A and B are shown apart, each in its own frame.
Chain A
């Protein structure tokens, strides 16, 4: 019996056309306490009105600077952070209505960045991997855990009874992947899952992730600051800035044309091996503004070369490009009716 036979995912309910997960208007503000009575003084707008969907079997890459709300989005998807507003619909079932938190966590699993911190130092590898499967009441959790360890490249006979501190970073990240998959999820959220690894190990783990996706029919949400890694593994890319989505597009489309000025700066900051592909855009200056008090209108206007009066006042809506509806962007430059002096012309060179 192979590991594929022991995989016990929840059944597909809506068919391939229904997105596996759809979030609408997701919002999370973290309170900042202070003052004499320790009251809430301000709120960090970590995630503000984020909407997107992930199709069955695809990998959605999420990129952005640190502090843009990538990780909070990841934790919202699995319910580790409680949302203030918005809707999470997993395979047609809305969280809190037809889907309990525990059921959501049965279908969605997460792999974190810090492979050491995510493993309980007092538990053996086998106990860590089998824990989730036991909690969810799957059949033969230990057997499943051993098979999954074997599948991710860790010999269960050698590793089952060892402790996290006895493993290398790459091995530990394999343990974390095995732990997520031992619960037979359908969606795996990978939050900077390979960022802490050496380049060579990173490549191996990325290949492993690709293989696993095919074998178990998984869907990934892949969060990273490394555009090359995201390009390698993703089908579509979502760009976040200060808690908002600024651009979503298929990977080839966005690689060809970055429709949002922020995306363009982000891409131009990426070191390139190709002498023909020289940086045209000056890199972004300064740090992102304070998310406690984000800029009005388009949040990027304080750092945008093309900002005009309308950008300070009106919040741009996420909409498909005229020639390619799958390529969505939130920028007044692309909206002919926005009132921007160069509206409808796209981002100037």
Chain B
């Protein structure tokens, strides 16, 4: 029996350590301090928002006429109070709930919807591809900000409407990336080899396509979270997102504009939250990209 070329194998001890793709990604991520730091910040923001009621904060809705516009560092109000005398620290932490939800959820939904559309278009090709991709092209005729504002503007303010409009904004770019990656993979020999077994399209997609296209699509989707956050808060800032008196960073930025000459730095605080979150999301996405070996 001809077996000579298998004598150059690594030793069996090494073989047992044979690792899959994902454990490699995990190892690289843990060794990247900046990405881990950003992950910690985002996790802290999400957790503090989620568990805000248990943090012993002041009531974010309760105003006080005498305690209006306390400066940052005022006794009892570490970050001061807003134009209605509501505790800023509490409102900023509670504000994370809606802002992060509306800022992240559309990308999550669009990730699934866009992946389904793009993988279908890329794998099936032909007329299906043409119909899906030409429809997607129409949405690319709108700059994302404009599209979000147009849909939200027509639908009116409200949390659901914001989610709907932002999801519509992010489905087309994710679909386009998913389609591009999938049609690339579709041409590879191992897809031919899998089809040659007699497997149906769904089985080939499930076993052979998804595992190879999901990480680039996922990395791309994470790169959109920062834009989505900024847009989500922007809609509220314009008054077509979350309605008062809910604490939400963009909306707070809007209402505090009226006191910009009275207490300027206080009025910039909600923006700091948006900025820090969006910066961390961007850096996190970059870290993921290199850990997953995804190239642009």
Contacts and interface: CB of A to CB of B under 8 A. Distances in A.
Nearest to A110: B196
Nearest to B10: A166
B263 to A, nearest CB: 55
A132 B196 CA distance: 8
A256 B8 CA distance: 41
Nearest to A167: B9
A161 B15 CA distance: 8
Contacts of B192: 75, 80, 112, 118
A84 B158 CA distance: 56
Interface stretch (B68-76, B82-90, B197-205, B267-275): B197-205
B190 A120 contact: yes
Interface in A90-121: 101-106, 109-110, 112, 114, 117-121
Contacts of A155: 6
A112 B207 contact: no
A112 B15 contact: no
Contact of A112 (B1, B189, B203): B189
Contacts of B212: 120-122
Contacts of B12: 158
A117 B196 contact: no
Main secondary structure of the interface of B (DSSP, over half): helix
A161 B18 contact: yes
A314 interface: no
B2 interface: yes
Contact of A102 (B9, B198, B208, B211): B198
A171 B189 contact: no
Contacts of A103: 198
A135 B190 contact: no
B6 to A, nearest CB: 6
B152 to A, nearest CB: 37
Contacts of A121: 21, 190, 212
B194 interface: yes
Interface string A169-191: 01100001001000100000000
A204 interface: yes
B194 A120 contact: yes
Contacts of A179: 193
B188 interface: yes
Contacts of A168: 5, 8
Nearest to B11: A158
Contact of A118 (B1, B2, B189, B211): B189
Contact of A153 (B1, B8, B197): B1
B21 A122 contact: yes
Interface in A187-239: 200-201, 203-205, 207-208, 211
A160 to B, nearest CB: 10
B131 to A, nearest CB: 15
A252 to B, nearest CB: 26
Contacts of B203: 135
Contacts of A112: 189, 192-193
A216 to B, nearest CB: 15
A205 to B, nearest CB: 7
Contacts of A106: 198
B156 to A, nearest CB: 42
Given A158-B9, A162-B18, A203-B2, A120 B208 contact: yes
Interface string A261-282: 0000000000000000000000
A72 to B, nearest CB: 12
A135 B197 contact: yes
Interface in A5-56: none
A153 B18 contact: no
A176 B212 CA distance: 19
Nearest to B191: A120
B141 interface: no
Contacts of A122: 20-21, 211-212
A63 interface: no
Contacts of B208: 120, 123
A179 B192 CA distance: 13
Contact of B3 (A135, A153, A158): A153
B195 interface: yes
B21 to A, nearest CB: 6
B4 interface: yes
A150 B53 CA distance: 61
Interface in B4-54: 4-6, 8-10, 12, 15, 18, 20-21
A78 interface: yes
Contacts of A162: 15, 18
Given A102-B198, A120-B190, A131 B207 contact: yes
Contacts of B189: 112, 114, 117-118
Nearest to A104: B198
A24 B196 CA distance: 21
Nearest to B5: A170
A278 to B, nearest CB: 33
A118 B193 contact: yes
A154 B1 CA distance: 11
A159 B5 CA distance: 14
Contacts of A4: none
A117 B5 contact: no
Given A105-B196, A117-B190, A166-B18, 9 more contacts: A80-B195, A101-B198, A117-B188, A118-B193, A120-B208, A124-B20, A131-B199, A168-B5, A200-B4
28 contacts: A75-B192, A101-B198, A102-B198, A112-B193, A117-B189, A118-B192, A119-B190, A120-B208, A121-B212, A122-B211, A123-B208, A131-B197, A132-B197, A135-B197, A153-B6, A154-B6, A158-B9, A158-B12, A158-B15, A161-B18, A162-B15, A162-B18, A163-B18, A170-B6, A176-B193, A204-B2, A204-B3, A207-B2
Give me the 7 closest cross-chain CB pairs, A-B, nearest first: A204-B2, A132-B197, A105-B198, A102-B198, A170-B5, A122-B211, A117-B189
